[in-house]
Structure 1
Amino acid sequence: MAEHDRDEGEAPKAPARVIGDVLIVDDSAGHLRLMASILKRWGYRVHEAGSGDQALEVLGRETIDLVLSDWVMPGMSGLELCERARALCVDRYVYFILLTSKTERADVAAGLEAGADDFLSKPVSAEELHARIFAGERLIASQRALEDRNGQLAEMLDTLQSLYDAIARDLVEARRLQQSLVPAGLKRYDGAEVALHLRPSGHVGGDLVGSFAIREGQLAVYSIDVSGHGIASALMTARLASYFSGGSRNRNIALERTDTDSIRMRPPEQVAAELNQLINDDLETELYFTMAFAVCDLKTGGLKLVQAGHPHPMILRGDGRIERVGRGGLPVGLIDGASYEVVEERLMPGDRLVLYSDGFVEQEDPGGAMLEEEGMAGLIRDSGAMGPEPALDRLIEGLARHAGRAEFDDDVSCAILDYRGRDPGAPEAS
């Protein structure tokens, strides 16, 4: 049968039907009955309204998929009904066809602005009505498929948000745990004071600072910066902290037992070499770290230091001079079998040793210029008259002024050792 010969009562061969309920709005009872008869034979559930107000009542209580509304009606026009229907049915898309004899471009534009999807000229042709309903089927099917995908995406986002919230809670706890690796407050030893500061750029970071002493009057202070950022680097710092914990050889890689069964510090270059071998042999990781590790003899002020790829430590002398210490060196864990060179200095009472991570010297100002060592030396000199703890605060304040903000691009850590000179008659430090 040719398309133009199809009987008006034959149902349209639409794709999988998504339009179920159709609302016909017309002040002409005869036209209502005619349109309802055709649509019912096509299998649609038909609702009728003789005015715009009645149509809004139906839209408020029924799930309508398609509205066929006359444009010109007493009271509320089809155009106004379309606008109010769009405002009412915000939770679902209703396909809206205006039935009209209006053909002027301005009228069509007004209908589109009101939210109409399509227009049918009166008297309505069944063939054209078929085609317009098919178009509505396609649009609503696409709209609902999009809504389904959006719903699935929303569920996925909710799941991801839940996971993110759980991870965020874990990271907050991890930050607290990492901060606990660096004791707060001033650490007093017999002949020296040490203050430590650690500030990750994110929840957790890869910096570590610390100090410990043994009875033989030796004090170790160190600064470590693990490559990368985030959780993997933080786990590495926790592992490294365990290597420097406790006062026994079994728990601290920097300690060794003497022939007289006492405990002493290992030379810093041996500490770096053993850590390097340990990471290359035992730890399956691509991470490495830079380190400055110093041992101070609290009796004499003698200082032995190894610089393994870390920024140059600085000594602020009692007279205000800044001395840059170290010769560079290879990072730890980067090259198997690497060796490290020790540097020897002597601290006098009133001298200050500062170890710091590259988060200081590589911090950029708003114009992109890094602080660099010269700027770091200026910050150290500016805080020289203060005790170790307020000096750390002053360093961070100075870095924030340089950066132009309180948050920094990288992890920032620092260890300050103030050498006071040991009382020869004082008991040995523990």
Structure 2
Amino acid sequence: MATAPLLPVGPTLAWLAPIETLASFNRPTGAWSESDAAWVYRYLCNGCGSPATRKAVQGELLRLAYYMRKHNIPALAELNSDDAAGYRDWLAATKEPIEVSVRPVRRLVNGEFNAQWRPFRSTAPLAGNAIKTALRLISGCLAFLQDDPHCPVQGNPFRRVAKGVEQAKRKITDVDDDLHLYTKALSAQALDALFAYLASDQFRGSEQSRTAKQWLLMLFSQTAVRVETLVTLTTDNLFPDEAQPGKLRLRFRAKHNSRVDQPWSAELNQAFEAYCMAYGFDAKAQALLLWAGIKSLPQPAPVSASSVWAMLRTLGRQTEQWVAEGIGVPGTILNQWTPHDSRQLLALHPHTLRHTWCTHAVNIQQMDLLLAKQHMGHSSVTVTERYVWPVRSGAS
């Protein structure tokens, strides 16, 4: 099999320079000052709101440059809607071995393009959400470039592809909703099964681990907090409830800097104190992490979001196996259990519990949608509506 063309090295792809050099970048001069690369570099300097976004855009543009070189597309200005659709299909197709890195390889080494770099890490098709992100980043980049009247790039073939990405994603991958269960809410019996498993004699783990996982599950299911926020919350986020003396409220800043203010129930407080007691933490200490993992430490240390995700995934699989074996499972759970519930637990994700809280609060507890929006920390009620799923009953 012929080796796929790789990107060239040199000043013609100035936007391959390390992210940390962007802050001191000035408009390029010389033979390449009006090139696509120069304008893309300018976008990376001025058009992205954060270093993380700049890095993400840089990575996706590098992948697009690889695709353009592979298909003999000379410049961004030469891209058309067919090229955009072809790029989308390429992201969603099974990858050739020559495009896959056996292990993660840095794109840049000392500011130079790494010839060992490949655009993918697996031969499997790129996930639908990853495709959506890639197309939107590229579309945003081209939209910014067009704002300058001197830029040679005209038209944005990725705008239409990115705008209809949900429909395009379904056409590409033939999506089955049950394959994307992290976007769905757990049924009442599935949520009950998680707590019942943790309280059962069949739980696999120490008493410390049981207490910690009960606390973690309660945090997610009763506060609907994002996992990225959860690992940063401390006791300093708990404030006295002015309307109800003796009670507390949980307050923090969510995405888009929206303010979240939630009641902190006696049940949550009791579970937190049990968690602290199990690991020797002082529950009344200042700036004590609300979640410090399951390892006993002299001083609780921050944990990663990925470790929380892995713990929930393991808990979901163990609970599903417990229900399948039927040993000590309450009849109220078994009598209403469906194959869909099993699939949900096998793919349990922190965001599943966010959807679960919102769905149950609005559909079952009849919470006002505006109050649910404030609780979730959303910027719009329209976003909150996407988290409210029909309550499944008797589905297979």
TM-score band by shorter chain is under 0.3
TM-score, normalising length: structure 2:
0.19
Q: Which has the higher contact order (CA 8 A, sep 6+)?
A: 2
Q: Hey, which of these two has a bigger chunk of helix by percent? A: 2
Structure whose CA Rg is larger: 1
TM-score, normalising length: structure 1:
0.18
